[in-house]
Amino acid sequence: MLKVVGLQLRLEDGKKEKNLARALEALRKVANREKEVDIFCLPELFDTGFSYVSLKDIAEEIPGETTNVLMNFAEEFQSYVIAGIAEKYEGKIFDSAVMISPKGKILCIYRKTHLFQDEKNHFASGDKIFVIDLGRFRIGLQICYEVR
């Protein structure tokens, strides 16, 4: 059996440090209560919220401050972490999901390929999909609207 925890957080648009602190507090609370969680999932753009105005200033490269915190958490609790992050890459901004291993290593960075409505005005579109082998399970990453 695969034990997956999805966290829904109250995010504040543009308040990256506050959102990261809130997410880490929630992750630790659940990790200390629920034993042997295989995967922790954080929401789309959990770090920045949907703050399009300041996106270019607060998006970050991966690895970066946000992913470093998540990598440490993943290693400490021996769990995978999947997190939606505003990513700065090659001069563009992506709505990305990063997957981190229980050893604290980045397994993949998925960049949202099917942008919804005006997201095209703020994000570049990704062009790769990933399937991650977790032993008896294989998983892929999608972000929000792409599930449809």
The catalytic residues are 44, 112, 144
The stretch 8-28 carries a mean pLDDT of 96
Q: Quick: pLDDT tens for 80-122.
A: 999 999 999 999 999 999 999 999 999 999 999 999 999 999 9
Give the containing element (helix H, strand E) for 25. helix 16-33
Please report the domains of the chain, with CATH numbers, ordered by start residue.
4-147 (3.60.110.10)
User: In this predicted model, which residue has the larger pLDDT, 145 or 123?
Assistant: 123
Confidence band of 52 (pLDDT split at 50, 70, 90): confident
Query: Measured in Å, how far apart are the chain's first and last C-alpha atoms?
Result: 26
| Model pLDDT, residue 51 | 84
The stretch 3-21 carries a mean pLDDT of 95
Residue tagged 């059996």 (tokens): 1
Instruction: Output phi, psi for 143, to 5 deg.
Output: -125, 120
* 8 Å CB contact between 106 and 76: no
| Model pLDDT, residue 82 | 98
Q: How far apart are CA 20 and CA 89, in angstroms?
A: 20
Q: How far apart are CA 51 and CA 15, in angstroms?
A: 9
